[in-house]
Amino acid sequence: MNQSLKDQVAIIVGSSSGMGKATAVTFVEAGAKVVLAARRQTELESLASELGENAISCPTDIQDAEQVEKLIEFTLVHFGRIDILVYVTGTNIPNRSLEILSDQTWDMMIQTNLTGAFYCTKSVLPAMRQQEKGLIIYISSAAVPFPDTSGVSYQASKHGLVGLAHGTFKEEKENGIRTSMIFPGLTDTPLVLQRPVPTPPETVAKALQPQDVADTCLFVASLPERTYIPELVLMPAKLA
């Protein structure tokens, strides 16, 4: 790695489980100060206790713009700056086909997977502009470059992240702000349990692990500020 994360401040949105939890642990181990954000307070506090003084929890519902603003303020009060924001939050539902997808479920999917990312991006930019540096990493899905049957609401929201990331970079690059999209393939996380048909255990055994995604985030975050990774596809080798 060309750049240490020592003393850098990162917000990991969605850090109560899965990829987000693994990313939070990995960043702390790499020397970063990490703010853990998710809705589940008990899980966040347990993880913060486990990670020690360089991790603090801030329970946040990213569907609420005011709570997102408070997350950014909380981080600045405690650590004085924000160098990295990783948006790992995402969800899906079993009833995902167009035949049964409801308007309410569509709205929930867009709000969680995309609008929350917009709230986080919009709220963190002023601090990053003032610093004249910052990195935002968005975790999307391999369903973007390789469309599948994960559902139109899931795919539309994950495609939307791409527009948010690239548009933000084009507007903010002169302020030293970079964005990166990571597209993980099948990963062994609780989201797999949301599939309408259970994934066979022998397939899950070949999937990526949350740590693989965390290590990829660390790789992107550790590169020099002169570098820019617009997109990175991460696939399980035996399922590619």
From first to last of its 240 residues, the chain has per-residue pLDDT tens of: 445 799 899 999 999 999 999 999 999 999 999 999 999 899 999 999 999 999 999 999 999 999 999 999 999 999 999 999 999 988 887 888 889 999 999 999 999 999 999 999 999 999 999 999 999 999 999 999 998 888 899 999 999 999 999 999 999 999 999 999 999 999 988 766 667 677 788 888 999 999 999 999 999 999 999 999 999 999 999 987
Residue 139 confidence (pLDDT): 96
Q: What is the DSSP letter of 1?
A: -
Say how far residue 55 (Cα) sits from the centre of its chain: 17
* 212/234 Cα distance (integer angstroms): 9
- The residues assigned a catalytic role are 154
For residue 115, give the DSSP letter.
I
Contact yes or no for 120/158 (Cβ under 8 A): no
Residues 185, 234: Cα–Cα separation, whole Å: 6
Walk across the sheet containing 9-13 and list its strands.
55-57, 33-37, 9-13, 84-87, 134-139, 177-184, 231-234
Q: What is the pLDDT of residue 1?
A: 43
Q: Give per-residue burial for 57-93: e unless 16+ CB within 10 Å, then b.
A: bbbbebeebebbbebbebbbeebebbbbbbbbbbbbb
| Domains in the chain, CATH or no CATH each | 9-239 (3.40.50.720)
